[in-house]
Amino acid sequence: MRLFILGGDGFVGWPTSLHLSAQGHEVVIIDNLSRRHIDVELKVESLTPIASPAERCRAWREATGKTIHWETLDVASEYSRLVELLHAWKPDAVIDFAQQRAAPYSMKTPRLKRYTVNNNVSTTHNLLCALVDAEVDAHVVHLGTMGVYGYSDTGSAIPEGYLNVEVQGGDGQRRSVDILHPTNPGSIYHATKCIDQILFAFYAKNDGMRITDLHQGIVWGTQTRETALDPRLVNRFDYDGDYGTVLNRFLVQAALGYPLTVHGTGGQTRAFIHISDTVRCIELALRHAPRRGERVKIFNQATETHRVRELAHLVHRQTGCPIDYVHNPRNEAVENDLAVINEQFLALGLNPVRLHEGLMQEVLDTVVRFKERIRRERIPCVSAWTRAHDTQLSLPPAIDDALVKQPKLDALSCIGELAS
Ligand SMILES: NC(=O)c1ccc[n+]([C@@H]2O[C@H](COP(=O)([O-])OP(=O)(O)OC[C@H]3O[C@@H](n4cnc5c(N)ncnc54)[C@H](O)[C@@H]3O)[C@@H](O)[C@H]2O)c1
DSSP labels, 342-388:
-HHHHHTT-------HHHHHHHHHHHHHTGGG--GGG-S----SSHH
Q: What is the pLDDT of residue 390?
A: 64
**Using CA atoms, how far apart are residues 158 and 213, in angstroms rounded to an integer?**
15
- Which is catalytic among the residues 145, 245, 278, 366? 145
The answer to whether residue 173 sits within a structural domain is yes
Q: Whose CA is nearest to atom 34 of ligand 1?
A: 31
pLDDT above 90: residue 409: no
User: Is 162 among the residues known to form the active site?
Assistant: no
The per-residue pLDDT for 414 is 30
Average pLDDT over residues 112-129: 98
Q: How much is the pLDDT for 407?
A: 32
Kindly give the number of the ligand 1 atom that is closest to the alpha carbon of 189: 43
Average pLDDT over residues 409-419: 30
CA–CA separation, 150 and 148 (whole Å): 6
Indicate if 123 belongs to the active site: no
Dihedral pair phi/psi, residue 169, rounded to 5°? -80, 170
Residue 192 has pLDDT above 70, yes or no: yes
Which residues share a beta bridge with 6? Answer: 30, 96
Domain with 281, as residue range(s), is: 2-239+271-306+335-355
Q: Please check whether residue 178 lies inside any domain of the structure.
A: yes
C-beta neighbour count of 88 within 10 angstroms = 11
Residue 348 lies in a domain: yes
Position 334 confidence tier, pLDDT thresholds 50, 70, 90: confident
Better-predicted residue by pLDDT, 86 or 326: 86
Exactly one of 115, 151, 189, 203 is catalytic; which is it?
189
Q: What is the mean pLDDT of residues 388-401?
A: 48
Atom number in ligand 1 closest to CA 74: 32
Q: Is the CB of 101 under 6 A from ligand 1?
A: yes
Residue 97 in contact with ligand 1 by CB distance below 6 A: yes
Number of domains observed in the structure of the chain: 1
Residues 295-302, mean pLDDT to the nearest whole number: 97
Choose which residue among 6, 31, 272 to substitute to test ligand 1 binding: the one with the highest number of ligand atoms within 8 A of its C-beta: 31
Share of the chain above pLDDT 70, in %: 92
Tell which wins on pLDDT, 362 or 316: 316
- State residue 348's pLDDT score: 95
- Report the pLDDT value the prediction gives residue 419, as an integer from 0 to 100: 29
Instruction: Pick the closest to residue 276 from 355, 354, 353, 349 (CA basis).
Output: 353
Mean pLDDT over the full length of the chain: 90
Q: Give yes or no for a contact between 340 and 299, defined as CB atoms under 8 angstroms apart.
A: no
pLDDT band at 394 (very low <50, low <70, confident <90, very high): very low
Query: Per-residue pLDDT averaged across 383-407, rounded?
Result: 52
pLDDT of residue 179: 96
Among 179-183, 232-236, 381-385, 389-393, whose mean pLDDT is lowest?
389-393
Q: Would you say residue 145 lies in a domain?
A: yes
404 vs 387, more confident: 387
Bridge partner list, 162: 180
**What integer is the mean pLDDT of 205-212?**
98
How many angstroms is it from 391 CA to the middle of ligand 1?
30
Q: At CA 51, angle to CA 258 and CA 75, rounded to 5?
A: 100
Q: Taking 60 as the threshold, does the pLDDT of residue 199 lie above it?
A: yes
Please report the atom of ligand 1 found closest to the CA of residue 77. Answer: 31
Q: Is residue 84 part of a domain?
A: yes
Instruction: Evaluate whether 379 touches 241 at the Cβ level (below 8 Å).
Output: yes
196: CA distance to ligand 1 center in Å? 14
CATH number (domain holding residue 19): 3.40.50.720
Task: Compute how many other C-beta atoms are within 10 angstroms of the C-beta atom of residue 219.
Answer: 23
Residue 179 placed within a domain: yes
| Atom 38, ligand 1: residue with shortest CA distance | 10
pLDDT band at 387 (very low <50, low <70, confident <90, very high): confident
What are the residue ranges of helices labelled H in 50-187? 53-64, 79-89, 103-106, 110-133
Q: What is the pLDDT of residues 32-50, one digit of tens each?
A: 999 999 999 999 999 999 9
User: How many CB atoms sit inside 10 A of residue 299's CB?
Assistant: 24
pLDDT at 417 over 50: no
pLDDT band at 418 (very low <50, low <70, confident <90, very high): very low
- 145 catalytic, yes or no? yes
Residue nearest to atom 42 of ligand 1 (CA): 101
Determine if ligand 1 sits within 6 Å of the CB of residue 216: yes
Residue 12 beta carbon below 6 angstroms from any ligand 1 atom: yes
Our mutation pick for probing the ligand 1 site, out of 16, 33, 34, counting the most ligand atoms within 8 A of Cβ, is 34
Nearest Cα to Cα of residue 7 among 55, 76, 66, 88? 76
* pLDDT per residue as tens digits for the range 141-180: 999 999 999 887 777 899 999 999 999 989 999 999 999 9
Q: Which of 96-110, 330-344, 377-391, 402-416 has the highest mean pLDDT?
A: 96-110
Quote the distance between the C-alpha of residue 176 and its chain's center: 34
Binding site membership of 222 for ligand 1 (Cβ less than 6 Å): no
Decide if 390 is inside a domain: no
Instruction: Give the pLDDT confidence of 224-271 residue by residue, as tens digits.
Output: 999 999 999 999 999 999 999 999 899 999 999 999 999 999 988 889
Mutate to test the pocket of ligand 1, among 97, 121, 124, 148 (most ligand atoms within 8 A of CB): 97
Most confident of 25-34, 216-225, 239-248: 25-34
In a domain, 200, yes or no: yes
